[in-house]
């Protein structure tokens, strides 16, 4: 299973920084199935009708479930499930906790868990229920969602850090809940880091990416290790924040800057949208202003000394600004989605760029998902969904503006 993140607050966050899924309430209503033809000329589509008021309108390619269905989140419009023939839309009318949905995962019991602006929602294939029993937990804005190898559920919550819901300690009434990172201060002197992505590497470390200046954190089961850029990064104003107000993330591009000497001893940015572990065990970070950054698998395993981070940006024929997601396909190619430059494919030697000129529905691409047949799905801004079969792009969405 491969999925990529589209946080529920992505448009809000991007607008800030780039201009600078156990209560008993449930529903069994029949979801809105969208009729669609399956011929090649007219593929099935998700359609945003005229007059529809949405949140971000960003399509998040989230999950391939055990049955092979694809799941997508769309800001303000709930979630969509695609069975290869028909898109089915689930909203609050069907029992979804909130129409602002983000990460979608499938737990070891087969339930679909959906991160929303009103806690985590569980779908058992028939009905939706709230994941938590307490109102306070069901009011949390969930920014990231992940299940580890032991079946523990990790999730980020706006202004609350990271929680772990311990499945091993279930007593039938609830599970042991622990809060992490809530009191971990970081370079801007802030707490409550905004965690947009969580992963577990092959050495069982849990990684967290911060979108408000915290870099990335690694948790080995006992302690947290924080990875931040070098001091030169901040001295040369590479973070783009004003000296007078460093915690606001405001850009000050008129201020003269000394060229930032990239060091392989440090991560290249302190704002990381998402992370990915490739087949070799290397960790890749999608950064705000410094392209993609790779962490060497040998160092991750505790082998070797020194040089660990490799930067991919302008010098490699790539882009530096606005990387959102990274995926390695079944053929071993790395794919990168960007804020305004479409997607890039890296074969280990060169980068190839795909944009709307090649058939991509929109050049602002937030998420990537590879299906069981090897097709790549790209979720974009403005209700865009494209599929790439290795030769051509096909659009699976229709945006009807007012």
Summarize pLDDT for 279-290 with one digit per residue, the tens.
Answer: 999 999 999 988
Least confident of 119-123, 240-244, 376-380: 240-244
Please report which confidence band the pLDDT of residue 263 belongs to, taking 50, 70 and 90 as the band edges. confident
Q: For the residues 290-318, what does the mean pLDDT come to?
A: 76
What predicted TM-score, i.e. pTM, was given to this entire model? 0.83
The C-alpha angle with vertex 268 and arms to 262 and 272, in degrees rounded to 5, equals: 170
The answer to whether 263 and 308 are in contact (CB under 8 A) is no
CA–CA distances in Å: residue 17 to residues 60, 249, 322: 19, 7, 10
Least confident of 23-37, 182-196, 315-329: 23-37
Please report which confidence band the pLDDT of residue 394 belongs to, taking 50, 70 and 90 as the band edges. very high
Q: What span, in angstroms and rounded, lies between the C-alpha atoms of 115 and 155?
A: 9
What is the CATH code of the structural domain delimited by 10-399? Answer: 2.130.10.10
Task: Give the model's pLDDT for residue 304.
Answer: 52
Domain-wise residue ranges, the chain: 10-399
Residue 37 has pLDDT above 50, yes or no: no
Averaged pLDDT of the chain: 80
What are the contacts of 247-253 at 24+ separation with CB within 8 A? 247/188, 247/189, 247/190, 247/213, 249/16, 249/17, 249/20, 249/212, 249/213, 250/20, 251/19, 251/20
The answer to whether 341 and 357 are in contact (CB under 8 A) is no
Q: Please tell me the total number of residues recorded for the chain in this structure.
A: 402
Q: What span, in angstroms and rounded, lies between the C-alpha atoms of 228 and 309?
A: 11
């Amino acid at each position: 299973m491969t999925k990529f993140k589209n946080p529920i607050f992505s448009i809000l966050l991007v607008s800030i920084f780039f201009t600078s899924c156990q209560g008993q309430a449930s529903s069994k209503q029949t979801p809105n199935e969208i009729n669609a033809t399956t011929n090649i000329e007219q593929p099935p589509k998700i359609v945003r009708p005229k007059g529809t008021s949405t949140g971000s309108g960003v399509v998040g390619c989230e999950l391939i479930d055990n049955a092979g269905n694809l799941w997508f989140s769309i800001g303000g419009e709930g979630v969509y499930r695609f069975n290869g023939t028909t898109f089915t839309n689930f909203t609050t009318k069907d029992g979804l906790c909130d129409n602002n949905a983000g990460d979608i995962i499938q737990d070891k019991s087969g339930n679909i868990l959906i991160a929303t602006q009103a806690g985590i929602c569980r779908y058992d294939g028939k009905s939706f229920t709230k994941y938590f029993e307490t109102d306070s937990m069901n009011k949390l804005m969930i920014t990231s969602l992940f299940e580890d190898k032991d079946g523990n559920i990790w999730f980020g919550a706006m202004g609350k850090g990271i929680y772990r819901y311990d499945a091993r300690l279930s007593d039938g009434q609830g599970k042991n809940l622990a809060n992490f990172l809530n009191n971990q201060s970081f370079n801007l002197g802030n707490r409550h880091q905004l965690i947009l992505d969580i992963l577990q590497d092959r050495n069982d470390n849990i990684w967290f990416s911060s979108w408000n200046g915290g870099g990335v954190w690694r948790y080995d089961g006992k302690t947290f290790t924080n990875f931040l850029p070098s001091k030169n990064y901040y001295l040369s104003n590479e973070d783009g924040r004003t000296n007078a107000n460093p915690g606001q993330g405001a850009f000050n591009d008129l201020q003269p800057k000394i060229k930032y000497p990239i060091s392989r001893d440090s991560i290249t940015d302190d704002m990381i949208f998402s992370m990915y572990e490739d087949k070799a065990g290397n960790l890749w970070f999608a950064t705000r202003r410094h392209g993609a950054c790779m962490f060497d698998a040998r160092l991750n395993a505790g082998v070797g000394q020194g040089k660990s981070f490799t930067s991919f940006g302008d010098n490699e024929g790539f882009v530096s600004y606005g990387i959102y997601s990274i995926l390695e396909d079944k053929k071993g190619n790395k794919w990168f989605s960007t804020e305004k430059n479409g997607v890039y494919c890296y074969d280990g030697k060169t980068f190839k760029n795909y944009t709307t000129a090649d058939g991509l529905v929109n050049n602002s691409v937030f998420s990537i998902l590879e299906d069981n047949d090897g097709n790549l799905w790209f979720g974009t801004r403005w209700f865009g969904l494209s599929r790439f079969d290795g030769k051509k792009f096909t659009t699976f969405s229709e945006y009807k503006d007012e």
